[in-house]
Structure formats: structure tokens, C-alpha cells
Amino acid sequence: MGVLVVAGITAPGHTIDMAIMHFLLFYGGVFALIGLTAAVGVGLLASDRIVMTPSGRIIAQAVHRAVSFGAVGFLIIHIVTEMIAGRSQPADAVVPFLDQGRTLYLGLGTVASDLFLLILVTGILRARFATVRPTWAWRALHSAAYLAWVLGIVHGLLAGRTAKPYVDWSYGACVAAVGLALIVRLLAVSRTRPAATTRTMRASPTAATQAP
């Protein structure tokens, strides 16, 4: 942003600034949603223990973190450009349901952004959560990403101008991508549990003989 301000001092720089701001105003939110969709999808796939090897999961988790940072970057750009354009107030970026006229859908976007920032911070502090009881606290907080993602979809489709058909298609592709990743995750979990039970039965002859 600082570069844009400096470049705007000259007439050509001002023209370039306006073009960039116009582009980010229209597409910053779309890029943020695509990035967040990728982060959610990769996060789901990174937890797979059937197809992916341990080294593959480590790489996937690194990609998940990198994509998450990039998506939050576009989210911040989206919020800032909306405020610069006068379409949103600074308080609306933090406190939901304040804006008059677009209260519901703009507020849903604020809730989604607040949740994503909370998830980002707790993800960075994951090691510290390992020593906190109950141990499921971190997973419960991180699972809020699914709710935030859904709210982001609704906000993107209904908070602003009427979406072009290609935007609707892109949002539909986001939903399909996360849905596919979720199916893979559920299949992995359903296959892991019987395998774990079989290993336990084989490791415990007593349990095997007492099994009905």
C-alpha cells in the first residue's frame, strides 16, 4: 500500500493506482475466498493417513500454512480497499452487524474474517495449545474454519453487487473443491478406524479371545 501512495504523487502513478485499487476492490475478496478455500481443502487433505505418506502430510501442512497466510493477506487487502472506497467503516471490519443497509451479509463477512484471524493466531500458537487442557481445545477452535468459510461464501455472493455468472461458477467450484476434500477426509477416517481396531485385536491376544 505504501508503494501505491508514493506512486500516486505523479499523474501516471495516480492512474496506475486507481487501476490497481479498482482491480483489488472488485477481486480482492474473490482472491481471499479462493485462497481460504484452498487452505481449507489442503488442511483436510493434510490430515489423511491412508493415501498420503508422513512426509507428504508434512509437505501438505506446510502448504496449508503458506496458503493460509496468503489468503489472510488478500483478506486484509479486501477489507482495506473497501474502507478506502468508503463502502465500509473501520468498525465494520471488527464488529459485525453495524453497517446500515447491508447489515446481515456484511456482518456475516465480518464474523468470517474474525474467525479466520482467530484460527490463524491459534494455528501459529499450536505448540502452546498442546500443553493446554482440555486437549481438544485447539481442534475445536480450528474447526471453526468450516463455519467461517461458509459465511465467507454467503458474504461474497450477497453482500455486494449482483455477481456475474463466472463469479457464481467460481464460488461453486470452491464449494465443490472443499466438498471433495471433505469426502476424501471422511473416507480416510472411516478406513482408519477399522484398521486401528484390527491392529489392536492382533496386538492383544486376550482381547481377541474374548471378542464375540
When pLDDT is averaged across residues 21-37 and rounded to a whole number, the result is 83
Q: Is residue 59 part of a domain?
A: yes
Q: Which domain holds residue 43?
A: 2-188
Q: Is residue 108 part of a domain?
A: yes
Closest CA to 100 of 84, 114, 115, 89: 89
d(C-alpha 191, C-alpha 143), whole Å? 21
Check pLDDT > 60 for residue 136: yes
Q: What pLDDT shows up at residue 203?
A: 52
Q: Is residue 68 part of a domain?
A: yes
Q: Is residue 205 part of a domain?
A: no
Per residue in 62-112, pLDDT tens? 888 888 888 889 989 888 888 888 877 888 778 888 766 667 888 888 898
When pLDDT is averaged across residues 33-45 and rounded to a whole number, the result is 84
Domain count, the chain: 1
Q: What pLDDT shows up at residue 207?
A: 44
Q: Is residue 101 part of a domain?
A: yes
Q: Is residue 201 part of a domain?
A: no
Confidence category of residue 212, pLDDT binned at 50, 70, 90: very low
Coil vs helix vs strand at 170: helix
How far CA 85 is from CA of 21, 25, 138, 197, in Å, comes to 9, 8, 37, 58
